[in-house]
């Protein structure tokens, strides 16, 4: 049986109409529901970030100061909070700190978390701590800068890399006033140092 052109064109138009109705009503509703669900998930994630009572929160915060040696520093974080009854202790996330030394060099420290005392200028850096100074890099789990004592304590899988060589240890204590460095391990293991010639 041969269909004539008129019946064939009517069947094609009917199929096109069905596709248009399907995509207009069913497919677009599905897309709208998906977009609405994604927006609701974003709102829920943002609500999870609500600070507890008696806490103030900030985003993209920056503090500037001067350490006990007269070096300027800037500490930034993507998210920060403090308890209203202890406003000088700032808990931070995604931290970047830069010390601008008088000789023109810069020490950059980054970490996932940190605590900054905006009165004493003491700083703690935790998780994924990275330090960059000239051609040297240092990685650790934790670092504390005690401004009042001019002391830097670095610990937890400490790895230092530089042009002169590499070092692996558990702890490094820097007395910045005396310019002394003490490197140690938690147990009787030896500190691992590789020197480049």
> Quick check: 73 pLDDT over 70?
yes
Inter-residue contact 185 to 169 (CB < 8 Å): yes
Q: How far apart are CA 178 and CA 74, in angstroms?
A: 24
Mean pLDDT of 139-164: 88
Mean pLDDT of 14-19: 63
In 3D space, the residue among 46, 49, 74 whose CA is nearest the CA of residue 62 turns out to be: 74
> Quick check: 120 pLDDT over 90?
yes
- pLDDT band for position 69 (cuts 50, 70, 90): confident
The per-residue pLDDT for range 34-63, each reduced to its tens digit, is 545 555 554 444 445 565 678 888 899 999
> Quick check: 30 pLDDT over 60?
no
> Quick check: 155 pLDDT over 80?
yes
Q: How far apart are CA 84 and CA 63, in angstroms?
A: 18
Q: Any idea which residue has 């001019």 for tokens? A: 150
3-state per-residue secondary structure call for 30-98: HHHHHHHHHHHHHHHHHHHCCCCCCEEEEEEEEEEEECCCCCEEEEEEEEEEEECCCCCEEEEEEEEEE
Mean pLDDT of 152-174: 84
Q: Quick one: pLDDT at residue 44?
A: 45
């Amino acid at each position: 049986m041969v269909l004539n052109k008129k019946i064939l064109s009517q069947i094609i138009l009917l199929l096109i109409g069905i596709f248009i109705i399907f995509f207009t009503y069913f497919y677009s509703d599905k897309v709208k529901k998906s977009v609405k669900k994604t927006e609701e998930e974003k709102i829920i994630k943002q609500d999870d970030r609500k600070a507890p009572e008696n806490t103030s929160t900030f985003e993209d915060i920056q503090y500037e100061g001067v350490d006990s040696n007269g070096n300027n520093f800037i500490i930034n974080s993507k998210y920060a909070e403090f308890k209203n009854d202890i406003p000088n202790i700032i808990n931070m996330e995604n931290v970047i700190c830069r010390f601008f030394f008088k000789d023109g060099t810069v020490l950059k420290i980054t970490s996932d978390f940190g605590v900054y005392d905006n009165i004493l200028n003491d700083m703690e850096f935790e998780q994924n701590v990275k330090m960059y100074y000239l051609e040297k890099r240092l990685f650790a789990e934790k670092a504390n800068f005690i401004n009042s004592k001019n002391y830097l304590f670095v610990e937890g899988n400490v790895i230092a890399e530089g042009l002169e060589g590499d070092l692996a240890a558990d702890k490094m204590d820097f007395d910045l006033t005396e310019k002394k460095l003490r490197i140690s391990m938690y147990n009787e293991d030896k500190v691992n140092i590789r020197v480049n010639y």
